[in-house]
Amino acid sequence: MEDLLIWPPEIEHLIELYMQYLRVEKRVADLTLDHYFSDIEQFVAFMIAEGKRSFAEIDHLAIRTFVGRMAKEREKRTIARKVSALRSLFAFLHREGVVERNVAKQVHLPKLERRLPNFLYIDEVTRFLEAPDLTTPLGLRDRALLELLYASGVRVSECVGLDVSDLDMSLGAALVFGKGGKERYVLFGGQATNALKQYLTEARPQLWQKGPGGESHPLFLNKNGTRLSDRSVRRIVDKYVYQVAGMKKISPHTLRHTFATHLLDHGADLRVIQELLGHASLSSTQIYTHTTREHLERVYTKAHPRA
C-alpha cells in the first residue's frame, strides 16, 4: 500500500470524504470498502505517475489508459470492479462539485460471462449445518449463524449487523438493513429458530460477559464479547468446510445462493425470492432460474410417460 502522505493533500482529503460517504450514507460492507479503497489507491498511484495532481485533470482517456494497462494481467471481473469503483468515485466528486462530469461513465465495462451461482445440494447443506460442536458456546453460536444464513438468505453484512432486538422469534422473522440502508423483513424457519433460541439462552450470555457491554446488543458475538465481523464469518465457514469430509470449497455467500436455489426448485415464485433476497431488480434474481440436475431428473421421471 502506498503511503498516503505522498499524495497531494486535496486528493487525500477527498478520498477520506468519499470513504466516509460509502461507510455512513451508503452503508457499504467492510470488505467492499477495502476493495474500493485498494482500487482507488491503485488509480491514484497511476494518476500521480502521469503527472496529474488533482481529479479535475483526469479525463476519460486517462481512465482508459489505466484500464488498458491492467487488461493483460487482470481478469475481466477485476477490471470491471475497478471501473465500477472509479464510476462511483467520480459520481461522488461530481456531486460535490469537484469535477464537471463523471468521466468514468464514458469507460465501458468489459463484457463478462455470466456465472451460475455455486450452491449446495440438500444433503450437503445438512452435513455442513450440523458440523458445529453444540457443547461449546462458540459452537452454538456457529450453528445459529449458519442456520440463519441458510434459512433467510441474508447477506453476511446484513447478518452480522443484526441486533437481538431485530429478531421476532414468535414470527420467525428479522428486520435487516440491506444495500443502501434499505430495510426489509426476512423469514427463518423452525430449525433456525431452535438454533437461535439455544444460542441466545445458553451461549450468548457467556460471550456477552466477556465484552465491554454497552447500549448496542449485537446478535452474534465473537469470543471477546463484541460484534462478529464479516471476516470472522469467512473464517467460520472455512473451518467447517475443512471439517466436513468431501465438502467442496464454498463461501458464506454460497448459503445465500443455496437458499434461493432450493426455494426455486421447490416452487417458490421468482418475485417472492427477489423480495426475500432484497434485490432491487428482478434481473438480479433471474440467475437462479437454472435448475439442478437432480430437480430436472425428478420432474422428467414424474412427467414423462415413458420415463
- The residues assigned a catalytic role are 155, 179, 253, 256, 279, 288
Read off the C-alpha cell for 106.
464514458
Q: Is residue 14 helix, strand or coil? A: helix
The residue behind cell 466528486 is 93
Q: What is the distance between the alpha carbons of residues 23 and 183, in angstroms, rounded to a whole number? A: 17
Dihedral angle at the C-alpha atoms of 180, 183, 187, 188, nearest 10 degrees?
60
DSSP state of 115: P
**CA-wise closest residue to 186 among 256, 124, 252, 128:** 256
Quote the CA–CA distance of 287 and 260 in Å, as a whole number.
Answer: 10
Task: Show the cell assigned to 43.
Answer: 488509480
Eight-state DSSP code of residue 202: I
Answer for the pair 234, 250: CB distance below 8 angstroms, yes or no: no
